[in-house]
A = this chain, B = another copy of it.
Amino acid sequence: MTSHVDTRPLPPFAPGPATSEFDVDTAVSTTGPGRFAARITDRWNALGGGPDGGYLLTPVLRAMAVEVPGGTPLVVSASYLAAARPGEAAVCRTTLRVGRRFTTAEASLSQGDRQVVHAVATFAGPEARVAPGAGGGAAPDVSPPEDCAEPLAGVRLPGVSITDRIHHRFPEVPGWWRGRPTGNASMDVWMRFRDGRDADPVALALLVDAAPPAVLELGAPASTTLRMTVHLRARPTPGWLLARVATRHVIDGHHEEDVEIRDRAGRLVAQSRQLAVLPAGRPLKITGR
């Protein structure tokens, strides 16, 4: 195992164009001190038919970023407490600590009287430090997106709409897609927004949850996220991003899912880990589509 040491500074967060699908559908507006309104759309529905967990996290992160100068998120942990539905939502934010180097806040997204998502995020402060080092990334050793299959395009998956917003190109067409799960729960997928918006750290918090779950390769029909922690490591170069998705341990119906996203230059830009749970009583082998 090699350690990459990279001294390039984390660029400041800049919001995307307010007209992109992602920015329109994750906008928040202030309704009071530490209170925000958001609107959950049905345009980012994932496998299972509900709004994608990464999508739900985004307005929460935006609400937390509003009051942080610079607004560069470094890490966010989200607890998924109840199923969300398209419609109005309220975000309530509390600052835990404001520091010169780091600011930490918590926030929850509620619909009616139900808390749906609770998150804690740490942002870079004005004096976030930089240590010396050396090294960098390497270009991913998979086929470039231009040469990859996009099997999900034009296919109507029941309840799924996130594939209409995000390209998914697979260097190797997944076994689960061909109806033959490989038993090896790992997958590479190139992603980018279909409307051309490039990813910033906030968008990465969605993209880490926008790939199909790796447990599909174990024959699982779906998976429910309990917790997701995202480390936002760098601002990606524009264009395609490569996600490597892997589940190594399924224990008692619970599994982790690790995602690493690299930009086209091979630079690590985000790492996420989920703890998720498989549906009860469903076999890990499926018989194909």
**Copies of this protein in the complex:** 2
Q: List 28 A-B contacts (CB under 8 A).
A: A3-B185, A3-B248, A4-B248, A4-B251, A5-B218, A5-B284, A6-B249, A8-B252, A9-B252, A74-B275, A77-B229, A81-B96, A104-B118, A106-B118, A129-B280, A130-B252, A131-B220, A131-B253, A131-B281, A132-B284, A133-B284, A135-B250, A227-B229, A229-B273, A233-B252, A233-B254, A249-B271, A271-B273
Q: Which residue numbers of A lie inside 8 Å of B, CB to CB? A: 1-10, 74-75, 77, 79, 81-82, 96-97, 101-102, 104, 106, 108, 115, 118, 120, 122, 129-135, 183-186, 217-218, 220, 226-227, 229, 231, 233-234, 246-254, 256, 268, 271, 273, 275, 277-284
In contact, A226 and B75 (Cβ under 8 angstroms): yes
Are A122 and B3 in touch, CB under 8 angstroms?
A: no
Counting from the closest, the 9 A-B pairs by CB-CB distance are: A131-B253, A129-B280, A77-B77, A131-B278, A5-B250, A229-B229, A6-B251, A3-B185, A81-B97
In the complex the two chains form, is B234's CB within 8 Å of A131's CB? no
* Set B81, B234, B280: member contacting A104, Cβ < 8 A: B81
* CB-CB under 8 A for A256 and B284, given A115-B97, A131-B279: no
Q: A220 contacts which chain B residues (CB < 8 A)? A: 131
A183 contacts across to B, CB distance below 8 A: 3
